[in-house]
Amino acid sequence: MTPAPEIVLRNCRVWDGVVETPIADAEVVVRDGRILACGPAASGDRSLRPGAVDVDLHGATVLAGLVNMHTHLSLSLPGPGGDAVAGLSPHALALHMADQATRTLRAGVTTVRCVAEKDHAEFALREAIAAGWVPGPRIFTAGRALACTGGHGHGSTDTLECDGADGFRRGARAQIRAGADLIKVMISGGIAGEHEAIDTPQLTSAEMAAAIETAHAWGRKVTAHAGPAPVIEEAVRLGLDCVEHGYQLTPAVARLMAERGTSLVPTLVVTRCREFFDRLGVPAWMQQRSLGAGERHAASYQMALEAGVEVMLGSDMPPAEPFEGTTATVRELEHMVALGLSPRAALAAATAVPARWLGAGDELGTVEPGKWADLIAVDGDPTADVSALRRLWWVMKGGVVVRDDRRAAPGS
């Protein structure tokens, strides 16, 4: 699909991600896939390019497309639902992930950060999306996550088992060779490992240092699956760029993260997702570990907010997963707000902040001239109530409308 030469989005409010409140009676001009202008509606007639298209957004609020920073398009948790995905052939897996990508885009998530996918299939998917063969979000990926032998996520083709400093250097280089944008390391146990605990340390200091130093030397950031505060503290002191989950932070470690500029993707929804687990048939031991960690997880997140840690949206399940009347992405944002983040800060954590972390802040994350026209429209004001995102009905990526629930039916 190619964008029209010029598109004018009218009859809308715009939250550009820069000012505090949405701009009333606004318009956005999109040309050749990028934002040409944004602001109060122009008075009088304006000359448009031949073939220009006017789009009436019926008073909706327009904002930048969402960025989900903890995505697994090939997720397969323990249980029958996950087993079905794990058993797919390579060809079927690619089709499954393509379907997840399309659903993700239609859910208003225009960019994802994949943090462990099976068989490096997301690299081919990324190319297919860029070529226009498959509709989907912009993909930034870590390739396969690096784990120690028997470590968190072992036994699946979305992780690579490594041991020793040299092993983790080779593992990081192998992901970079494949085209990884970042590196992920599994530095502690977690929810989905039957023979571990959330607070099980899994990497030595030398192994963590090797992965971080190698990635940084190649210009890649490093994020870590991590639960306990002592392990997180050690990794932060070694230069870790981001923590996934952070189930058991302490105020002191949260302050250290803020001082060192280490971000947090809290994935609050993963300790509050009985409905999702039940649907997949996740075993009792995992449900108990996950749901039982919820209170401590929330406290850790609040410690991070109090310390001033930069937080970013991540669902740790497919972004468009139907969940509690909305998607996993929106439900995560609602949890982030309910536990202390303001609605506007939560929207920034889902747009501009992750775009900057990914090194794409000049291209994505806000509604400003020159950036890609990755835009969504919702009824209501999400800067006052993020639950307005439940009423998302229009999505554009790169100047192409990929969802319009109010488009007139043929012949109407």
pLDDT (tens digit, 9 = 90+) per residue, 204-235?
Answer: 999 999 999 999 999 999 999 999 999 999 99
Residue type, 61: T
Q: Is the pLDDT of residue 79 over 70?
A: yes
- How confident is the model at residue 409, as a pLDDT? 42
Q: What is the architecture of the domain spanning 66-357?
A: Alpha-Beta Barrel (3.20)
Confidence of residue 5 (pLDDT cuts 50, 70, 90): confident
* pLDDT cut 70: percent of the chain above it: 95
- How confident is the model at residue 97, as a pLDDT? 96
Mean pLDDT over 282-300 rounds to 93
Return d(Cα 184, Cα 269) in angstroms, integer: 20
Confidence of residue 412 (pLDDT cuts 50, 70, 90): very low
Three-state SS string over the chain comes to CCCCCEEEEEEEEECCCCCCCCEEEEEEEEECCEEEEEEECCCCCCCCCCCCEEEECCCCEEEECEEEEEECCCCCCCCHHHHHHHCCCHHHHHHHHHHHHHHHHHCCEEEEEECCCHHHHHHHHHHHHHHCCCCCCEEEECCCEEEECCCCCCCCCCEEEECHHHHHHHHHHHHHHHCCCEEEEECECCCCCCCCCCCCECCCHHHHHHHHHHHHHCCCEEEEEEEEHHHHHHHHHCCCCEEEEEEECCHHHHHHHHHHCCEEECCHHHHCCHHHHHHHCCCHHHHHHHHHCHHHHHHHHHHHHHHCCCECCCCCCCCCCEECCEEHHHHHHHHHHHCCCCHHHHHHHCCHHHHHHCCCCCCCCCCCCCCECCEEEECCCCCCCHHHHHHEEEEEECCEEEEECCCCCCCC
- How confident is the model at residue 46, as a pLDDT? 55
User: Which has the minimum average pLDDT: 56-65, 244-253, 274-283?
Assistant: 274-283
Shared fold status for 6-65+365-404 and 66-357: no
- How confident is the model at residue 44, as a pLDDT? 44
Return d(Cα 164, Cα 91) in angstroms, integer: 34
pLDDT (tens digit, 9 = 90+) per residue, 39-68?
Answer: 998 644 455 666 788 999 999 999 999 999
Q: Is the pLDDT of residue 366 over 70?
A: yes
- How confident is the model at residue 194, as a pLDDT? 82
* Cβ-contact 350, 87 below 8 angstroms: no
Mean pLDDT over 87-92 rounds to 94
* Cβ-contact 332, 294 below 8 angstroms: no
**Mean pLDDT across the chain, nearest whole number?**
94
* pLDDT cut 90: percent of the chain above it: 88
Mean pLDDT over 166-195 rounds to 95
Higher pLDDT, 197 or 327: 327
Q: What is the architecture of the domain spanning 6-65+365-404?
A: Roll (2.30)
Map out the domains of the chain as residue ranges.
6-65+365-404, 66-357
Return the closest-CA partner of residue 375 out of 101, 139, 30, 130. 30
Return d(Cα 272, Cα 193) in angstroms, integer: 18
CB-neighbour burial class of residue 370 (10 A; exposed 0-12, middle 13-18, buried 19+): exposed
Return the closest-CA partner of residue 183 out of 155, 164, 207, 205. 207
In DSSP terms, 139 is beta-bridged to 112
Return the closest-CA partner of residue 145 out of 88, 216, 224. 224
Confidence of residue 4 (pLDDT cuts 50, 70, 90): low
As given in the structure block, the two tokens for residue 129 are 């999306």
- How confident is the model at residue 155, as a pLDDT? 84
Confidence of residue 346 (pLDDT cuts 50, 70, 90): very high
As given in the structure block, the two tokens for residue 200 are 């099980």
pTM, entire model? 0.95
